[in-house]
């Protein structure tokens, strides 16, 4: 099986090459079927790998890559439980999104190239998770950055979409720099970037080693950029500019989970650096609460979901930071299901309303889009963490670990999940309940075609039952996913020597508290938006101070503009006007002018008289001989 596993990423690549090269020569449905088919093959292979993995890890060497001096790198894929889970998520959810896109992008003029990009995106993400060295992972890492740029700016005729794409790219670049520095440090420290060399060696290091701390912090900078954490999260909400399936792909299956994967993969290194762990957890939990508080007041259906992604990613980092690696991966999985579902559902709504994204102009869509509504409802339950939907198990496992690690993290996490429940139900109620607030005559809301609803239904089923692979022992489950991932995280867990403090009784109690808080905030949302039929204020209306702050996203973008962009602009302006235009151009022009002036002077020497030239020659010869004499 493993030798076929190496082919997994190359099917999407083949799809990209074929569709990309043929482009418009290919009929639309052929391109769509090709793209989906390639991913389906990859998914089947991934499934085979997943079934056969049984705990051990295999390396599949494909080809040598770089060999310079003592340095060598090869295209080698690593197959272990962690990468196989990610393979499943990427190919599975990716496949559903592809199928959904067939319906969603059907009328787009760049239909074929869209599928080519999607395939390329999946290819790079697969490279990222299959890589057996940080260097190869970096290839995939950069590749997804590129694809996200291409897809966010897919409708590049709109300037603001273009700006959003550039923003995503630049923000990622900042993170990538950290990641790259981390890789270089790894190379300096361990003499290689291969996992199978680094991880065993790392076990010999002392906990809290300075070098390891530096490496892990730098790697985390990369993860911050890619996974949209404070302070580099602002690109993700703007990434909504892309077509909705792209948002689903970026938020659920690919791209943002790369940071989680990387930190989880480097678990042993993080286990050796308590400081880094604390930073990861802190940034994670702060992001979780911060983004959730922004999501409370957003009116764009996709923006709300975007901030919820940032917030959920914060939970994942919280899990990683407190050492709950398998819980984080579990949450990545469940999040992939329900977030893909939410985005695709939102896409279905937008599709049904002919491009309307503002929830103030929606309402009462329950009857008109029944399938979308039901699946959206499932996803909302899942993200809010209501048992027995999938999000409940994964999030509560993270919170339980957070509780044993640091009580403050737990409190913040619970506040975050309370907000999550509130804004998700606010979104649900405003969109699907009440009465339609848009222009009834202009837009005929309609249910999406089957090719879009079937992926929704499949994802809804997964969101519902996906959590059962990780039912904790305290609830009578067997926590299969953590056992499955155990071989990967065992060394890290051993290093951490986790205090298994919380008994199962208190774990159940914690769950009770969380669920109670969540239900309370759902009731609050019900009261505000169903009973009192409140609708968010129109644009420009005066809001209470806190609400205003949240509505304007704490003015973070404006602060970045003022603190970073503006001074950089000024500096660039300075370099352009003074250094480049005056100094460098001046030097260049001066050399030109000087040559011209000297030539003008020398022109008089060129009399055209042969005898004058001869005279000059004779004097020259005399001079040369004279100098020889001296």
Partner 1 sequence: MTVYLFIVLGVLAVLSALMVVFTKNPIHSILYLVLTFFAIAGEYVLLNAQFLAIVNIIVYAGAIMVLFLFVVMLLNLNKETEPHKSMLRKLIAVVAAGLLMVVLVGSLKGASNMSIQPFSHNTGLIENLGTVLFNDFLLPFEVSAILFLAAMVGAVMLGKKDIK
Partner 2 sequence: MTDLKAIPLDWYILLSSILFCIGIMGVLFRRNAIIIFMSIELMLNAVNLLLVAFSAYHNDAAGQVFVFFTMAVAAAEIAVGLAILIVVYRNTKSTDIDVLNRLKG
Q: Which is nearer to partner 1, 170 or 621 (CB)?
A: 621
Residue 628 binds which entry of partner 2, partner 1, none, with Cβ cut-offs from 5 to 8 Å by kind?
partner 1
Q: Which is nearer to partner 1, 499 or 605 (CB)?
A: 605
Q: Of 12-20, 92-100, 529-537, 621-629, which part binds partner 1 (CB under 8 A)? A: 621-629
- Dihedral through CA 134, CA 140, CA 146, CA 150, nearest 10? -160
Q: Which is nearer to partner 1, 571 or 615 (CB)?
A: 615
Tell me if 615 contacts partner 1 by CB under 8 A: yes
* DSSP label at residue 55: T
In whole angstroms, the minimum distance from the beta carbon of 596 to partner 2 comes to: 14
HEC readout, 442-454: CCCCCCCCHHHHH
In whole angstroms, the minimum distance from the beta carbon of 625 to partner 1 comes to: 4
Count other C-beta atoms under 10 Å from residue 249's C-beta. Answer: 31
User: First-to-last CA distance in the chain?
Assistant: 86
Count other C-beta atoms under 10 Å from residue 54's C-beta. Answer: 9
User: Which structure tokens are listed for 627?
Assistant: 């100098």
Q: Residue 268 in contact with residue 203, Cβ under 8 Å?
A: yes
Size of the site for partner 2 (CB under 8 A): 12
Residues 221-280 within binding reach of partner 2 (CB under 8 A): none
In whole angstroms, the minimum distance from the beta carbon of 630 to partner 1 comes to: 10
In whole angstroms, the minimum distance from the beta carbon of 74 to partner 1 comes to: 59
Q: Of 272-280, 520-528, 565-573, 613-621, which part binds partner 1 (CB under 8 A)? A: 613-621
Residue 608 binds which entry of partner 1, partner 2, none, with Cβ cut-offs from 5 to 8 Å by kind?
partner 2
In whole angstroms, the minimum distance from the beta carbon of 602 to partner 2 comes to: 8
Q: Residue 195 in contact with residue 78, Cβ under 8 Å?
A: yes
Q: Position of tokens 């959904």?
A: 100
User: Which structure tokens are listed for 129?
Assistant: 């998770």
Tell me if 610 contacts partner 1 by CB under 8 A: no
Tell me if 609 contacts partner 2 by CB under 8 A: yes
Give the distance, in angstroms, between the CA of residue 8 and the centroid of all CA atoms in the same chain.
21
In whole angstroms, the minimum distance from the beta carbon of 594 to partner 2 comes to: 18
Contact string 146-165 vs partner 2 (x = CB under 8 A):
--------------------
Residue 603 binds which entry of partner 2, partner 1, none, with Cβ cut-offs from 5 to 8 Å by kind?
partner 2
Per DSSP bridges, beta strands 58-68 and 71-79 are: antiparallel
Residue 610 binds which entry of partner 1, partner 2, none, with Cβ cut-offs from 5 to 8 Å by kind?
partner 2
Tell me if 605 contacts partner 2 by CB under 8 A: yes
Contact string 564-603 vs partner 1 (x = CB under 8 A):
----------------------------------------
Residues 152-191 within binding reach of partner 1 (CB under 8 A): none
Dihedral over Cα of 197, 203, 206, 208: its sign: positive
Tell me if 24 contacts partner 2 by CB under 8 A: no
Q: Residue 314 in contact with residue 261, Cβ under 8 Å?
A: no
Burial class from Cβ neighbours inside 10 Å (0-12, 13-18, 19+) for residue 34 reads: buried
Tell me if 63 contacts partner 1 by CB under 8 A: no
- Dihedral through CA 556, CA 558, CA 563, CA 569, nearest 10? 140
**Quick one: residue 20, left, alpha or beta (phi over 0 = left, psi -120 to 50 = alpha)?**
alpha
Tell me if 616 contacts partner 2 by CB under 8 A: no
Burial class from Cβ neighbours inside 10 Å (0-12, 13-18, 19+) for residue 625 reads: exposed
Instruction: Find the binder of partner 1 among 1, 564, 578, 621 (CB under 8 A).
Output: 621
Q: At what angle do helices 390-405 and 274-295 cross, to 10 degrees?
A: 130
Q: Residue 293 in contact with residue 550, Cβ under 8 Å?
A: yes
Q: Residue 274 in contact with residue 496, Cβ under 8 Å?
A: no
> Across 57-114, where does the E strand assignment appear?
58-68, 71-79
In whole angstroms, the minimum distance from the beta carbon of 626 to partner 1 comes to: 5
In whole angstroms, the minimum distance from the beta carbon of 590 to partner 1 comes to: 37
Tell me if 597 contacts partner 2 by CB under 8 A: no
Angstrom distance (rounded) from CA 111 to CA 50: 32
DSSP per-residue codes, 198-219: HHHHHTTSPTT-HHHHHHHHHH
Q: Of 43-51, 153-161, 520-528, 616-624, which part binds partner 1 (CB under 8 A)? A: 616-624
Angstrom distance (rounded) from CA 443 to CA 354: 7
Q: Of 304-312, 385-393, 528-536, 610-618, which part binds partner 1 (CB under 8 A)? A: 610-618
In whole angstroms, the minimum distance from the beta carbon of 593 to partner 2 comes to: 19
Tell me if 628 contacts partner 1 by CB under 8 A: yes
User: Which structure tokens are listed for 350?
Assistant: 């937008």
Tell me if 607 contacts partner 1 by CB under 8 A: no
Q: Of 40-48, 382-390, 508-516, 611-619, which part binds partner 2 (CB under 8 A)? A: 611-619
Q: Which is nearer to partner 2, 505 or 610 (CB)?
A: 610
Interface residues toward partner 2, by CB under 8 A: 602-603, 605-611, 614-615, 618
Interface residues toward partner 1, by CB under 8 A: 611, 615, 618-619, 621-622, 625-626, 628-629
């Amino acid at each position: 099986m493993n030798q076929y596993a190496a082919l997994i990423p190359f099917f999407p690549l083949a799809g990209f090459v074929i569709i990309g090269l043929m482009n418009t020569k290919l009929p639309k449905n052929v391109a769509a079927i090709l793209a989906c088919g390639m991913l389906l093959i990859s998914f089947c292979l991934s499934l085979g790998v997943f079934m056969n993995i049984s705990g051990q890890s295999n390396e599949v060497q494909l080809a040598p890559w770089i060999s310079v001096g003592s340095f060598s790198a090869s295209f080698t894929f690593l197959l272990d439980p962690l990468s196989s889970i990610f393979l499943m998520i990427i190919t599975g959810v990716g496949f559903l999104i592809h199928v959904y896109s067939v319906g969603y992008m059907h009328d787009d003029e760049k239909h074929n190239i869209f599928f080519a990009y999607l395939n390329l995106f999946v290819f790079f993400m697969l490279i990222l998770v299959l890589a057996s060295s940080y260097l190869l992972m970096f290839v995939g890492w950069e590749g997804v950055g590129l694809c996200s740029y291409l897809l966010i700016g897919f409708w590049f005729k709109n300037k603001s979409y273009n700006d959003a794409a550039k923003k995503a790219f630049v923000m990622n670049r900042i993170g990538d720099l950290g990641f790259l520095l981390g890789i270089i440090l790894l190379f300096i420290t361990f003499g290689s970037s291969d996992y199978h060399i680094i991880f065993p060696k790392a076990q010999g290091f002392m906990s809290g080693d300075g070098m390891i701390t530096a490496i892990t912090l730098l790697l985390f900078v990369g993860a911050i950029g890619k996974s949209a954490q404070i302070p580099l999260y602002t690109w993700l909400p703007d990434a909504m500019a892309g077509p909705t399936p792209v948002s689903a792909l970026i938020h659920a299956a690919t791209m943002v989970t790369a940071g989680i994967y990387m930190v989880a993969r480097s678990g042993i290194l993080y286990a050796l650096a308590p400081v880094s762990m604390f930073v990861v957890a802190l940034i994670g939990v702060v992001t979780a609460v911060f983004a959730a508080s922004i999501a409370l007041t957003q009116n764009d259906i996709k923006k709300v979901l975007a901030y919820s992604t940032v917030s959920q990613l914060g939970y994942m980092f919280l899990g990683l930071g407190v050492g709950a690696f398998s819980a984080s991966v579990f949450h990545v999985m469940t999040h992939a299901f329900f977030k893909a579902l939410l985005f695709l559902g939102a896409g279905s709504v937008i599709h049904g309303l002919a491009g309307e994204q503002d929830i103030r102009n929606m309402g009462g869509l329950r009857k008109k889009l029944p399938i979308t509504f039901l699946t959206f409802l499932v996803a909302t339950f899942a993200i809010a963490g209501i048992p027995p939907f999938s999000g409940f198990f994964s999030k509560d496992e993270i919170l339980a670990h957070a509780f044993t690690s640091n009580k403050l993290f737990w409190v913040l996490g619970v506040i975050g999940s309370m907000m999550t429940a509130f804004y998700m139900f606010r979104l649900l109620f405003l969109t699907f309940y009440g009465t339609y607030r848009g222009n009834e005559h202009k837009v005929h809301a309609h249910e999406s075609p089957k090719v879009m609803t079937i992926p929704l239904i499949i994802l809804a089923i997964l969101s519902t039952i996906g959590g059962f692979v990780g039912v904790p022992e305290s609830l009578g489950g067997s926590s299969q996913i953590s056992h499955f991932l155990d071989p990967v995280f065992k060394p890290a867990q051993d290093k951490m020597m986790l205090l298994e403090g919380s008994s199962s009784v208190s774990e159940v109690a914690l769950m009770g508290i969380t669920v109670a808080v969540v239900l309370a905030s759902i009731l609050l949302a019900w009261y505000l938006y169903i009973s009192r039929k409140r609708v968010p204020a129109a644009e420009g209306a005066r809001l209470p101070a806190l609400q205003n702050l949240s509505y304007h996203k704490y003015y973070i973008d404006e602060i970045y503009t003022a603190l970073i962009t503006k001074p950089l602009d000024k500096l660039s302006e300075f370099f352009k006007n003074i250094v480049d235009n005056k100094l460098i151009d001046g030097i260049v022009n001066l050399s030109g002018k000087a040559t011209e002036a000297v030539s003008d002077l020398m022109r008089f020497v060129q009399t055209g008289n042969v005898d004058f030239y001869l005279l000059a020659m004779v004097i020259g010869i005399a001079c040369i001989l004279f100098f020889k004499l001296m």
